Amino acid sequence: MAPAYRLGLIVLLLALSACCAHAADSWELHPEWAEDFKAQSVSGTMLIYDEKAQRYLVLDRQRAETAFAPASTFKIFNALTALETGVIADEHVTLKWDGTKRWVADWNRDHDLASGMKYSVVWYYQEIARRIGQERMQAWIDKVGYGNRDISGGIDRFWLGKGGLRISAVEQIGFLRRLADGALPFSARGQDIVRRITIVEQGDGYVLHAKTGWKQVDGETDLGWYVGWIERDARRWFFAMNIDMPNADDAGKRAGLARTMLQRAGALEKSAAPTR
């Protein structure tokens, strides 16, 4: 068989495989979830992927396929890239606080990669992005195929509201599934570290990985993200929620609202009691 023909055949088979895998996923609409959003005086979308059932459960599919600035959900990618490039050796590398008082009290101290993820410390992840640099960041964005791959707007703010980077809830889940599988083009060690520092809750038989995001642009309604996955009973459910937040206190509704949807989807039991 000629090399060119063989290569073409391989590409075709891979394309057909990807197509069939995508076609196997079903979509289940849940317009009734809007009542839970309404009860919290917010609007948005919730997308859950039940891996075992190969099924998406969604409120507002069109919005789930619409791309928005990732805001601090990008810290997951940023951490992976920092570890891969050697900018940060591990999750315990501490950067000194510069003494500038910021609006979140927990940001006003020294942080490491893990605490920077936990408290969503913008200045810490801006600094590691500057150390990675534009060229290396773009190369990894392209290699992974993250969102629209646009990092215009500044190396330390392209993922924030006025930057060029955009990603949809569907794409968020695709990225997180690859991370959970260790299938991203980063080292196994780096992916293991990031999986570990994104654990926000553990209970009897389950683990919850999650990350918030909050896009703020003057003159625009704030946007809130909550993305992650649950591992329970040898099953996994991936999720991505984004909501419009007309008021600052709406940010505190993200995790609770997502938890309600995850319970409705059977991913999380109502009696689940976190140990962390």
pLDDT in tens, 38-56: 999 999 999 999 999 999 9
Tell me how far CA of residue 126 lies from CA of 151, 183, 251, in angstroms.
13, 26, 21
Amino acid identity at 273: A
Q: Is the pLDDT of residue 13 over 90?
A: no
pLDDT at 86: 98
Return the residue matching tokens 């917010």.
Answer: 42
Residues 159-194 as b/e (b if ≥16 CB within 10 A, e otherwise) read bbbebebbbbbbbbbbbbbbbbeeebebeeebbebb
For the four alpha carbons of 127, 156, 43 and 66, in that order, the dihedral sign comes to negative
List, for residues 217-242, the tens digit of each pLDDT value: 999 999 999 999 999 999 999 999 99
Lowest mean pLDDT among 9-18, 95-104, 142-151: 9-18
Return the residue matching tokens 């057909």.
Answer: 16
Q: What is the mean pLDDT of residues 115-132?
A: 98
pLDDT at 24: 82
Q: Is the pLDDT of residue 275 over 60?
A: no
Q: Is the pLDDT of residue 22 over 70?
A: no
Catalytic residue positions? 72
At 83, is the pLDDT very low, low, confident or very high (cuts 50, 70, 90)?
Answer: very high
Fold designation for 23-264: Beta-lactamase (3.40.710)
- DSSP-derived pairing of the beta strands 94-95 and 111-112: antiparallel
Per-domain residue ranges of the chain: 23-264
Question: Which pair of structure tokens corresponds to residue 56?
Answer: 């998406």
Euclidean distance between CA atoms 44 and 67, whole angstroms: 13
Euclidean distance between CA atoms 34 and 12, whole angstroms: 41
Burial class (CB in 10 A: 0-12, 13-18, 19+), 11: exposed
Q: Is the pLDDT of residue 200 over 90?
A: yes
Backbone angles phi, psi at 240, to 5 degrees: -150, 120
At 23, is the pLDDT very low, low, confident or very high (cuts 50, 70, 90)?
Answer: low
